[in-house]
Structure formats: C-alpha cells, structure tokens
Amino acid sequence: MMKHTSNNVESSITLASVKLADVKLANITKNNISKNNISKNNVAKNNVAKNNVAKNNVAKNNVAEVLIESPSFSFNCAHFIAYKGYKESLHGHNYNVSLKIKGSIQEDGYVIDFDILKKIVNDICKTLDHRFILPIYSDVLQIKEVHNNFEIICEDNSLYSFPQKDCVLIPIKHSSVEEIGQYILDKIIESISLSFLKKKSVNYVEVSVGESPTQKAILHQHI
C-alpha cells in the first residue's frame, strides 16, 4: 500500500510540475508577445514622428518668391514736388504698382492666397486714383481747410485751391515716387498685418511703383 501511495504522490508531483512549467511557458510567451507588440508600437510611433519631422522640414525648406502684377494695380494722380528753394509745376502721372513677397510654402500650397493680396493692392490704388496728392508733412507748404477746399500756399506765394473730395492726404513729406512707394508698402503691410505675415512665414515684402515706363521706385521691408 505504501509503494502504491508513493507512486501516486510522485505522479501528482510530476503532473503539478508539468502544469507549472506550462504556466510559466505560457506567461513567458505572453510577455514576449507583449514586448514584441510594445516594440512594434514604438517603432511605428518613431516612424510617424520621423515622417512628421521630414514633412515639417520639407515645408520649412520650400521657400517661394511670389510676384503679383495686374493692369488694375494702377492709379492716375496729380502732384508737384516742393522743397526749400524749389517747386515743380503741377502735373500728373499714370502710376503702376507690383508686389513681391517671399516666404515658406504653407500646407495649403500657398505662401499667401493671391486673392487676399490682389484685393489689398487694388483697394489702395482706388484710394489714390484721380486725386491730387497732398503731402501733409511738407515743411514748405501751408495747408488750410477753407470751406470744402484745401488751400495750399507755397514758398513762392503760389496759391492752389482744390476741392477736398479731389485730394488724398498722405503722411509723407514729398510726393515723390519714392515716398509714395513707401506709403503704399506701409499700407500693404498694415492691411495684411504683421502677425498674419509672420504666421504665414513671410520674411520679405517688396513694392515697385512706376511713374513712367522708365522711372520706378522699389521699396522693401524684411519681416
């Protein structure tokens, strides 16, 4: 009886050992599978991160120069240059404007949408078209409001009187193409806004203003 009982005990111990070994093997297998899954997930995440970095680098490196020109970017104005000891005769020009910007190509494929820029330039040109340019910071012109007119007295005592509705007052000292160009550049940047330009990674804005086929001023600003 004792021998038979011993065999049963040994068989039970052996069976228990086998089951324990199977459990350990199963746990090891599960752990290995879990580790493999974690490893695969980490690899996948790393690949996604690398792809995102690559995309960002491509976007940052794709820099474009955008030039916008249009027959509608024009205005006709009368003016005269005046400074100490000198005054031109009253005359006019057919001005034309072009706009250039430089910046990174955005996710939508643009630096800035052309339609936004066209509207801004067109609106500025309309405010100047068929007007007399009155430089309000002039140090040689006396400008007075008389009824519905602006009266202008020059150094040589020349007197001009223009209806206010026919004048455009610009914060410049001289109505030269250079200062008119600077005014237009400032208005464009103000209209777009510096914050929007920076958001779009625009780093350079340039305006060209021509007063004849052979005479133009080019103004620019780094953002």
- DSSP assignment of 40-71, as one string? HHHHHHHHHHHHHHHHHHHHHH-EEEEEEEEE
Do 11 and 67 share a domain, yes or no?
A: no
pLDDT at 1: 45
Do 96 and 13 share a domain, yes or no?
A: no
Q: How many helices (H) and strands (E) does the chain have?
A: 4, 11
For the chain, the domain total comes to 2
pLDDT at 9: 47
Do 73 and 158 share a domain, yes or no?
A: yes
pLDDT at 2: 46
Domain that holds residue 21: 1-61
Q: Which residues contact 106 (CB under 8 A, 6 or more apart)?
A: 59, 200, 201
pLDDT tens digits for the chain (223 residues)? 444 455 554 555 555 554 555 555 556 556 665 666 666 666 566 665 666 555 555 445 699 999 999 999 999 999 999 999 999 999 999 999 999 999 999 999 999 999 999 999 999 999 999 999 999 999 999 999 999 999 999 999 999 999 999 999 999 999 999 999 999 999 999 999 999 999 999 999 999 999 999 999 999 999 9
Do 167 and 195 share a domain, yes or no?
A: yes
